[in-house]
Structure 1
Amino acid sequence: MQVETSSSKYGAKHYPDNIREWKKEGNYFCFYTTETILEIRVIADKIIRFRYAADGTFQRDFSYATSDTMQESPITFGIKEWEETFEIFTDALRVFIARDNLRITISDKDGKVINQDEMGFHWQHYLLKGGKIQYCSKLVQEGECFYGLGDKPTELNLRGKRLENFGTDAYGFQKDTDPLYRNIPFYYGLHHGIGYGIFFDNTFRTIFDFGKEREDACSFWARGGEMNYYFIYGPELLEVAESYTKITGTPELPPLWALGYHQCRWSYYPDTRVKEIAAEFRKRRIPCDVIYLDIDYMEGFRCFTWNKEWFPDPAGLIKELAAEGFKVVVIIDPGIKVDPEYAVYQEGMKNNYFCKRADGALMEGDVWPGKCVFPDYTNPEVRDWWSSLFKSLAETGVRGVWNDMNEPAVFEMGTFPEDVRHDYDGEEVSHRKAHNIYGHLMSKATAAGMKKYLMPNRSFLITRSCYSGAQRWSSVWTGDNVSSWEHLWLATVQCQRLAVSGISFTGSDIGGFIGEPDGELYTRWIQLATFHPLMRTHSASNETGFNQEPWSFGPDYEKVVNKFITLRYKLLPYLYTTFWQYATHGTPMLRPLAFVAQQDTTAHNCTHEFMFGDALLISHVSEQGMKEKAVYLPAGNWYYFWNDKKYTGAQEVTVPTPLEEMPLFVKAGAVLPQYPEMQYTHETPVTEMLLHVYYGEQEVKSSLYEDAGDHYGYKNGQYNVIRFKQHSTPQQFHLKKKFYINYETAYKNHRIIVHGLPFQPTVVIIDGQKTVLSAENLQADNTVSFVVERSFEEIIMNKE
């Protein structure tokens, strides 16, 4: 073991020396130096796990991030010995381990370097706190870009940044505020058109440096724990994203209503005010599915209670709202009020369920109820107890839960002191190790309880803090943002980054939580949020009594806001299909341009534009009074959604941005399914599914996924997958369809709307049968509309 003198604060730096022996067992390879052991585990042909025992002893192999469904599936692998290196190979990768210092070089099978150690693994004793600081440094490749790390409020490309993961209640955060609420130690690298990812599974405070300290070095380290990371090869970035979710898991499908519009405020009370808000939505015919209750619905902010004065009949209220198509989501925080008369406190104390300090005293701190204690969610018995508490809420009719303040946040103290002790599923650790997964495990226990007691219906959960893998059970939002144009930009950046970090089900507080937007800012935010998987307005209480509902800014703005919320509901079949792709394959719902055009270096630093699913490209209006906007389109052909004007990609185009529009493009060749207008999901059975088909000469595949939109029948095969393929020419429009059908829909027909035909047909051929088109089927712009049976398989239109 090589030792380098360093600051006495941390102790000397230690580096591995030469390999003395090695062994192979199954898909494990172990390399032994004087003190350090390197374990390389071939998870799959493109996923390799690297794990180091600094002093020759591995810690417990345990993770709160990895999914129980993760399978190790290497097809071909082996090892070769060379004079200076060992080489572990798979069908896709070559991993070279230097004999003299354990440094790693990873190439593809053709020898192109993908990732290479600089100093590689090294460590220091953490003399002040105990344990070891675990480091790994990599060479930055020429032109390399970096992405990922969850909710960081900065440019998408992280090159030149240093960032850390330590869950923090960052009220009113600004651009470049760090750390924030979530802890996602996963990043991407992209260079020479090659994409890869590194997932550093360590729950201590972790730091990532992407060439800030030294331009030629990328490094990551943790102040404790173990150097344990997964290397994930693409070469496509979207492949990396999908492989990451093979490790950390994919979500179940949410209830369809959770993809509708959510209305929230701190706070809607009493119950008469909640009814007024609901009635106003229906009166104004603004679609909405969800109303939230913030902390004021509780009795003195005691979790799992109801304020008897303001909500004397919660079950009756929720039943009344349900009759109008509304679901209710309530907030639950981790702080349990210290009150001997409070049943939750009594039970937790009786069973020793609350966190304690190192000397055995209870961890106490002030939050909304006053002095509180906090459950130790790292104890599986406590998680089971916490889950059981949701029975009463579920029986009252609550359909979703909102976990807040779970970084954990504590007034004045900020968060828990480091000496707080945790069970950590039997390991007994300090808060230094448990901090970054505290909210993660709270949300996991919450989700388990709601799922159990709402069965067979699907539940909904949103959490503020989490760790890698939370996508398996929860959605998130970007936190306590501000009513400003800068925060509108931050919303698009953060939601894109969270999506490629495994958590697609995300959104921001529309209009900003802190402050008061004007009508223009709120409207532009609604437009952006229409294309975020979670669409929720949320705002804080304030002295002026200002409310932030879709009608709060006057009729001109209300009209545009309603237009976009209505569009959201029309696009639900597309959105739900995109969520199905995410739930099935781990494909991010929001895709930065670098992830869909990684060979195009111009796309690498685009932040305003992103893909929402396979077919839609969005760019929000980012400045007050903006009359037009330049938008970069990746290669291919595109239609402007509002007027079907065609654009050629791989260039920047400028489009007008009147208040009633935002830059929105459809990929040529795509099939975009839509519902008729509705006020809430399942308002009435859908009698006709619209298919907007955009003419294109390149072969383009599209999908439509359908199920009941609630309950778990889809897991037993009760769903439909319809796949479309369009490959047209200037002389012929050609659409083919294949399908798996095991769910009976209410509609029997499709209305086909073909956009952009270069000719005006007189006949449509459906499954070989000719039908003459009339003037009613043809529009002046060559848009063609006609009705077909749902079971059609092929449509052809020829130039006469």
Structure 2
Amino acid sequence: MKIESFSGTVNGVEVHRVLLNEPNPVIKLDTKGLSPSNPPPLEIKEDITVGKEKLGIAVQKKLGVKERVLGLGERTYEMDRRRATFNLWNVDVGGRYTWYTDPMYKTINFMMTVNDDEILGFLFNSPSKGIADIGNLIYDKITVGFVDKKLEFLFFRAEKMESLLEALSSIVGKPFMLPEWALGYQISRYSYYPSSLILDVIKEHEKEGIQISALYLDIDYMEGYKMFTWDRDRFPNPKEFIKELHGMGVKVITIFSPCLKLDQKYRPFKEAMGLFVENENGEIYVDDMWPGKCAWIDFFSTEARDWWSRKTEEWVKEYDVDGIWTDMNEPAVLGKGTFVSAYHDKTPHTLLHNAYGLLEAEATFRGMKNAGKEPYILSRSAYNGIQKYAVVWTGDNVSSWEDLRLQLSLALSLSISGVPYVGFDIGGFSGREEGVRGGRDYELLLRYFQAGLFMPLFRNHKSKGGEDQEIYLLPEPWRRRIKEVIGLRYDFIPYLYELVREAHEYGHPLLRPLPYYFPHDNNTYVCDEFMVGKDLLMAPVLEKCTNKRRVYLPEGKWAYLNTGEIFEGNDFVSSPDDLPIFVRYGSKIELRERTITFNENGFKIELKNQYRK
């Protein structure tokens, strides 16, 4: 085995870069400034079997008796990853998932561990199939390994989680600057059509006093589900339709799929000849997706990415769309999960798989930018670096009380893994079509909206078989209560946008698990409450038939937003109502019309001068 090691400091954090067997990673990291050195004290093994998985190479470290392990992106587990094994392999989970579903849509190969005296970070830059075992199959060790026999990995040592994430973003790449409009209330459906009905949907929201910031068009806007087309029966004049939506203050986001229908009369397919994923014999890899038999763009080809970028630019310019929603980009194949025996310029797909959606996002982002738009990409799949190009959401969740709690865990896990722009389908994407009754549980719908109040992505999305949950269709008091949440969301956009700037400049997440600031407090390793920036603590109500909940407050003073009541930390308290939001001592928070301060002069909420009568 050949081992090369380099070390140095990045943003004040100790960083080691290790190259095993001369890798040439498809995703490049910014490691300039590191100098040759001895490797960190970790075990490296070749040709190791972990459980049923045969790995080409693996990295191991001892798991301390009190060591906490966080991160690894989208994992349907508790925050502390101890005693679990995770497959590093992006998949389409097939319409629903629950607690402990593994693998999921995204693979983020970054984790951090917390001991009494230090915080360590580990970034594995391999998009190949792999496994992460956190003291489960091998009780006393953390083992991360891959099918590929070559590996680049980084080891970090920091005093704070925040400085660790700053160093991570300096190396992997800073989050893109999310447009401010993207923080508003967004609506989506599989699928809204025709165009005349969509305009009526927006008008009904306007009657309720609800501003829709963005509308998503799912696959039914296309002709036969073919990319770069419109169904002219449903959307007879898409340019005028989008122009009218823009006049109502609504942005338009169209869904993209990474494959093209095999059709010799279909122009994009003919244009893309030579740019497709292949099989072992060098023939076009063909499989099933929404249009029927399809070929997939090979995003590991520079030429293919450039072609996709140009097609995106043309699409955005011609129709003036404001964002692209990249779906089915794990990549997904109907009935099979993903590719079977596919190749990229003779490299087996299994060695590159997890980066497929990332490279699609990069090409799409570039196309939007070249079209003169502020790029906005929403991606289902992800790999290390997705934050440079896209927002992510947690896929096809199922409406239920258990899912409500799970969505917080997923959002926080992604956030602490260097992916700050996250969200979930409010109300749950799937419902009765999956045999789950929940669509008419209005209390649950309210709790989804409340839990999503500070999510970077605030989107109401539902499947075809799900019951309607547009606000204007809801009975009272649920309609009024949910409208209040949406109004509060708009009030907090100035604060959230400042957190977006912070993410863009420093790599800080908007949502921060309590250990982010209080890593040595055992009571903070929970997924049902979290910090929003440094100034707010949110603890949504997640149980049925209750308007209060028990909340743990870490050290310090905290003021309850709705009442101004002040609490001392290091204690459990009962929330005064069903929207538990606490303001941290020393805070000054700018809202749309008000300013919140909590300091030595007490807790105050004051109208800004321009709004005073």
Indicate the TM-score class for this superposition, using the shorter chain for normalisation.
Answer: over 0.9
Distance, in Å, in 2 between the alignment partners of 1:468 and 1:59 is 17
| C-alpha separation in 2, matches of 1:71 and 1:431 | 26
Could you list the per-position Cα deviations for residues 99-122 of structure 1 after superposition, in whole angstroms to 9, with x for gaps in the alignment? xxxxx43xxxxxxxxxxx3xx101
User: Which of the residues 509, 517, 539 maps onto 2:425?
Assistant: 509
Give the corresponding residue for 1:593: 514
Partner of 1:364: 286
Ranked by relative contact order (alpha carbons within 8 Å, sequence separation 6 or more), the top structure is 2
1:435 aligns with 2:395: no
Task: Report matched runs for 1:157-172 at 5 Å.
Answer: 157-170=80-93, 171-172=95-96
Report the Cα distance in structure 1 between the residues aligned to 2:121 and 2:166, rounded to whole angstroms. Answer: 11
Residue 474 of structure 1 aligns with which residue?
A: 390
Cα separation, 1, equivalents of 2:610 and 2:374? 33
User: What is the DSSP-based 3-state SS (H/G/I as helix, E as strand, rest coil) of the residue aligned with 2:567?
Assistant: strand
Residue 703 (structure 1) aligns with? none
Whole-angstrom distance in 1 between the partners of 2:263 and 2:153: 44
Give the greater-gyration-radius structure (CA): 1
Aligned to 1:139: 62
**Partner of residue 469, structure 2:** 548
Match of 1:260 among 166, 169, 184: 184
Query: How do 1:140-539 residues align onto structure 2 when only pairs under 5 Å count?
Result: 140-170=63-93, 171-349=95-273, 352-390=274-312, 391-417=314-340, 419-423=341-345, 428-453=346-371, 455=372, 457-515=373-431, 516-517=438-439, 518-539=441-462
**Deviations 1:227-283 (CA, angstroms, capped at 9, x unpaired):** 321111211112111211111111221211111111000000000111011111111
After superposition, what is the alpha-carbon deviation per residue over 1:201-247, rounded to whole angstroms, capped at 9, x for unaligned?
Answer: 11111211111123321111111142321111211112111211111
Give the whole-Å Cα distance in 2 for the aligned partners of 1:389 and 1:597. Answer: 47
Say if 2:536 is the partner of 1:616. yes
Indicate if the aligned counterparts of 1:225 and 1:433 stay in contact, CA closer than 8 A.
no
| Matched residue SS, 1:530 | coil
Displacement after TM superposition at 1:459 (Å): 2.4
Are 1:557 and 2:473 an aligned pair?
A: no
Query: 1 CA distance for matches of 2:164 and 2:23?
Result: 27
TM-score relative to the length of structure 2: 0.94
Taking structure 1 as reference, are residues 193 and 571 closer, same or farther at Cα in structure 2, changes over 3 Å only? farther
The offset of 1:784, in angstroms, is: 6.4
| Contact persistence 1:131–1:225 (CA under 8 A) | no
CA distance in 1, matches of 2:496, 2:219: 31
Instruction: Name the CA distance, whole Å, in 1 between partners of 2:376 and 2:177.
Output: 10
Matched with 1:756 is 603
Q: Displacement of 1:335 after TM fit?
A: 2.0
Aligned to 2:435: none
Partner amino acid, structure 1, of 2:248: E
Match of 1:675 in 2: 592
Return the offset for 1:289: 0.5
Runs (4+) of structure 1 exceeding 4 A deviation are 783-786
Q: Given the two structures, how large is their TM-score scaled by the length of structure 1?
A: 0.72
Whether contact under 8 Å (1:193, 1:599) holds in the other structure is no
For 2:357, give the aligned amino acid.
G
d(CA) in 2 for partners of 1:591, 1:392: 37
After TM superposition, give the deviation of residue 787 of structure 1 in Å: 3.6
Deviation by residue 1:721-741 (Cα, 9 ceiling, x = unmatched): xxxxxxx3xxxx4xxxxxxxx
Match of 2:501 among 580, 584, 590: 580
**Higher percent of residues as helix:** 2
**Identical columns (%):** 32
Most deviating of 246-255 and 461-470: 246-255
Q: Which amino acid aligns with 1:653?
A: V
CA apart distance, 1:612: 0.7
Structure 1 letter corresponding to 2:301: N
Question: For the residues of structure 1 that align with 2:490 and 2:217, how far apart are their CA atoms?
Answer: 23
- Rounded to whole Å, the distance in 1 between the matches of 2:71 and 2:28 is 16
Deviation at 1:478, TM superposition (A): 0.3
RMSD between aligned residues: 2.2
Kindly indicate whether the alpha-carbon contact (under 8 Å) linking 2:541 and 2:547 is maintained by their aligned counterparts in 1.
no
Segments of structure 1 that go 5 or more residues without pairing to the other structure are: 1-34, 79-87, 89-94, 98-103, 106-116, 677-689, 697-727, 734-754, 758-782, 790-800
> Which amino acid in structure 1 is aligned with residue 530 of structure 2?
F
8 Å CA contact 1:131–1:224 kept in 2: the answer is no
Q: Give me the whole-angstrom Cα distance separating, in 1, the residues matched to 2:140 and 2:210.
A: 53
1:37 paired with 2:3, answer yes
What is the distance in 1 between the residues matched to 2:608 and 2:458?
Answer: 32
Do the aligned residues in 1 keep the contact of 2:19 with 2:153 (CA within 8 Å)? no
Structure 2 runs not aligned, ≥5 long: 432-437
Q: Indicate conservation of the 8 Å contact 2:2/2:22, yes or no.
A: no
Q: Could you tell me whether the CA contact under 8 Å between 2:175 and 2:420 is conserved in 1?
A: no
Please state whether the residue corresponding to 1:555 is helix, strand or coil: coil
Residue 131 of structure 1 deviates from its aligned partner by 11
Q: Secondary structure at the match of 1:133?
A: strand
Contact in 1 for aligned 2:595/2:608 (Cα 8 Å): no
Aligned residues: 599
Partner in structure 2 of residue 663 of structure 1: 580
Alignment of 1:64 with 2:27, yes or no, is yes
Q: Deviations over 1:183-202 (max 9, x none)?
A: 10100100105212100111
Structure 1 position 663, deviation (Å): 1.1
Q: Which amino acid aligns with 1:49?
A: H
**Alpha-carbon distance in 2 for matches of 1:388, 1:464:** 22
